[in-house]
A and B are shown apart, each in its own frame.
Chain A
């Protein structure tokens, strides 16, 4: 071989070796980047092998992209999940299904595996009301699709599991202050440290957070209802500053507020882990919604959640084969709402009446879980568990004179009930070869309030070649009717008999391919929802039955609703995601998209406020040192129908426009001050109006009204709520006593 030829071969060999090394390095990096998830099967496994489509949003991403709530996290960084903001507390939906004013009932929220949704209302909050200080979040696992197989009720759209940091990731003390001019302020403090307790490695992480929203001012055009009313006897007064009676609207500068203190302590010692969470969340009711035309911009209208939660877990590895996990938990949650209305609307002589709703839930439970690792290598594992939960709920509704505070009638809707839930479950995983993972399981929820529900799931994952995973998943889930839906009977809600759990069945398939430090996912899904519970007007026949059996209270409104299983939905579509990194992880990027078609089976319309298409994209670069790290995130939500029709008319409201939200965030360390870092974030939303509509729906005789004004309603159409288009926040964080990792941990 000639020397030039030898040189060419040598260079080629070197180049190949370098490429191979680079490939090895990227493979190693990709393995390091592969997220380990626990939510889908309750055991740690790679996201690609999990029996559900799972997205992991890391705490580093939350910091990098200026994310401060779970809702923002899923909008900017999640796959298949989207939220809507009615200026109250977010609605959360997935894959083209989003229910209005749902209070998170169809998504199960977990914090370190502890279920948050309460049994009285089924509610979970995905904003600051979630009660988890955001700096304490290690990562968020978002499982899309039915997940009742291991978690029971509420996991219909999916499961969001917030995992908080260990002391090793939160070492030392941390103080954070953030300010959003004209809008909000937030302060948080926390610490994490390790120690030995009775010889066992132990640790405590703790954090407290206080958030307050005080703006911005929002404007609604004046709407005069005088022409729509039946005469002077039907005069309404909506608030204190409107130009006259029957006129609704103006500028909101008091009622759009919220306040959310929260705290959390996590203690670990050996195999024992204890979590204590406490939170309160008060939020104004800034505008009138159906069915209540609350007084405009009245900061006396509010909702308040308070919760105290305790969760203790213990894991015992009894042998190579057998592992036992025990969990005991207790929760207390209460809710209050004060809504002031024009007195005439309450049919009471006071100028303003006020409905006061109070509800309280308590529940305690024990969960025992046994894991049998038959072959000792996790290839054949049987999981057996049982969750036993006792729940107590109580609620009532009072009506008061808003000015004097005097009661205007006896208590309505008084509820005092309890129920026992026993839920055994089983899961079998089997990996007979390196290219095949099988997962099957089912959970039986036996609740004294309704017939037992079985939630099965089966999943097959095939790895035909390197870093390729193909999955097919069948799963079912349910949502138990809440007590508020079955048992509350007050001035507007009749007792609801025979309400059954809602159910959902889903089939989905996905392909995931990794190449270098990139990952690509594409999946399709088809979902069928049955027995969705909705308030429906009480029919005369049904009312007669309730009257005949003496079950209808005397003090009721003339129009009553009851909850019934009425709606069914067919839903199918696709979702895809891409993420990766370059330059040793300094440059990170990703994108997700979901498209879905959703049909209400008995109605020609789609689901209001549910987008058919939505997605997000992000890119960030960490230059290292003291240079600021820029991060850009975008969220796109497609056109959505309005949340209600024009009252007493067949005319549809206009749909909400496509909404693009851009967020640019800069994070970095402050030179010369070890431990001090900053975060500056600016937000732009393209749409001026959201899909939610505001304005009172007055109790008028619709038939007479249509007859008087055919095709041209005099009732002013409601107005789409304004969107806060431009926002900026900036914050400082100080990490101290963190040892050598202080600078590394700072954003």
Chain B
């Protein structure tokens, strides 16, 4: 009898559960970014390769760990191909569309995605002036 009562309570709680949706949104970034990205003359001139080489050597641990995880690798390579590590992480308004498109392509929909810490290591590596900033963070 008591068990039945508790079961009813749980059922009620489950019913309430459906009230508010707290799942992450399926965000699709806009197409046009307007920033320096793949296709610009300066980028075609070798910055992409230099940036990739720098991260693979200067941040080898992070690079290797990321490429062991398919989603992380997809995002990291996409950002590199589109020269999209040159973001301002302190300013959401300046996040270029390519950055968010690559994240979406790698199925990274939320900042608490388990992959985010891995890609964050590479983003910071690419941004720091003392590491790969000079070749990856050219704006």
Q: Looking at the assembled complex, report how far the CB atom of B129 sits from the nearest CB atom of chain A, in whole angstroms.
A: 15
Which one, B39-47, B50-58, B114-122, is touching chain A?
B114-122
Residue among A359, A415, A556 with max Cβ neighbours from chain B (10 Å): A556
A366 close to B6 (CB less than 8 A): yes
CA distance A454 to B72 in the complex (A): 45
B123 contact from A335, A394, A414, A554, Cβ within 8 A: A554
B68 within 8 A of A: no
Tell me if B90 is interfacial: C-beta within 8 Å of chain A. Answer: yes
Say yes or no for A182: interface residue by CB 8 A criterion.
no
Smallest distance from the beta carbon of A501 to chain B beta carbons, Å? 24
A312-B13 contact given A395-B22, A555-B95, CB 8 Å threshold: no
Complex contact A310–B9 (CB within 8 A): yes
CB 8 Å contact bits of B80-117 with A (1 = contact, 0 = none): 00000000011111110000100100001111100011
Per a CB cutoff under 8 Å, which of A364, A399, A553 touches B112?
A: A553
Q: Is B16 in contact with A362, judged by CB distance below 8 angstroms? A: yes
Interchain CB contact (< 8 A) of B91 among A407, A412, A558: A558
Across-interface contacts of A396 in B (CB, < 8 A): 22-24, 110
A349 near B93 with CB under 8 A, answer yes
CA distance A414 to B112 in the complex (A): 6
For residue B139, CB closer than 8 A to chain A, the reply is no
B60 contacts partner chain A, Cβ-Cβ < 8 Å:
no
For window 389-415 of A, CB contacts with B under 8 Å fall at 392, 394-396, 398-399, 407-415
Of B13, B111, B117, which one neighbours A332 at CB under 8 angstroms? Answer: B13
Q: Contact mask A319-363 → B, CB, 8 Å, 1/0?
A: 000000010111111111000000000111100000000111011
A306: Cβ under 8 A from any B Cβ? yes
Query: A358 contacts B20, CB within 8 Å?
Result: yes
Residue A60, interface by CB 8 Å: no
A-B contact count (CB 8 A): 141
Closest to A276 in B: B12
A396 and B110 CA atoms in complex are apart in Å by 10
Chain B residues, Cβ within 8 Å of A597: none
Which of A329, A334, A398 neighbours the largest number of chain B CB atoms within 10 Å of its CB?
A334
CA distance A336 to B109 in the complex (A): 21
Answer yes or no: A733 CB below 8 A from chain B CBs. no
Q: How far is the CA of A557 from the CA of B94 in the complex (A)?
A: 12
Annotate A465-504 by CB proximity to B: 1 below 8 A, 0 otherwise.
0000000000000000000000001110000000000000
Interface check A199, CB cutoff 8 A: no
Q: B residues within 8 A CB of A708? A: none
A710 within 8 A of B: no
Question: Are A347 and B93 interface neighbours, CB within 8 A?
Answer: yes
Q: Which residues of B contact A (CB under 8 A)?
A: 2, 5-6, 8-10, 12-17, 19-25, 27, 89-95, 100, 103, 108-112, 116-121, 123-124
Q: A360-B19, A362-B14, A555-B89 are in contact. List 11 more A-B contacts (CB 8 A).
A: A308-B12, A330-B12, A330-B13, A332-B19, A346-B92, A359-B22, A410-B27, A549-B117, A552-B120, A554-B116, A555-B111
- A-to-B contact residues, CB < 8 Å: 306, 308, 310, 312, 314, 326, 328-336, 346-349, 358-360, 362-364, 366, 392, 394-396, 398-399, 407-416, 489-491, 547, 549-558
A-B contact pairs, 5 of them (CB 8 A): A308-B16, A330-B10, A332-B13, A407-B25, A416-B22
